[in-house]
Amino acid sequence: MFELSLLICGLAVILCLWRVALGPTAYDRILAVNAVGSLVIIGITLHGFFMGRPEFIDIAILYALINFIGTIAILKLFSENKNKKN
């Protein structure tokens, strides 16, 4: 069960990286990196259960917080650029 979930997570990460590399607009890239972050959170949790050490879930929580800050910073940059043009 955990093996299958990890496998699906891995495939999803590859698809997201594809979108980061090729994504025509910047917003595609932001969304894709955000999705990679979410998949990493799921992956760490699954890895913990898979290896029989589910104590590491708190790292997954930290990742969730950090992921949020990075995205906010990027979007703030975009909104500032937009204001400059107007």
Partner 1 sequence: MAEFLINGFLIFLLAIIAVVAIRSIKIFSTVMLAGAYSLICAIIFVSLDAVDVAFTEAAVGAGLSTVLYIAAMRHLPKREKVVNDNTIFAFIVCFGVGCLLIWASFDLPVIGDPMAPIHQHVGPYYISNTKPDMGIPNLVTGVLASYRGYDTLGETVVIFTAGLGVLLLLGDGKNRDKNE
Report the SS3 class of residue 1.
Answer: coil
By CB under 8 A, residue 30 contacts partner 1: yes
The DSSP output letter for 80 is: H
Q: How far is the CB of 19 from partner 1 (least distance, A)?
A: 10
Residues 45 to 64: which contact partner 1 by CB under 8 A?
47-48, 50-51, 56, 59, 62-63
Which of 1, 4, 52, 69 contacts partner 1 by CB under 8 A?
69
Residues 6+ apart with CB under 8 A from 57: 44, 45, 48
Distance (Å, whole) CA 82 – CA 10: 36
By CB under 8 A, residue 3 contacts partner 1: yes
Output 6 or 85, the one with its CB closest to partner 1.
Answer: 6
Q: How far is the CB of 7 from partner 1 (least distance, A)?
A: 9
The DSSP output letter for 53 is: -
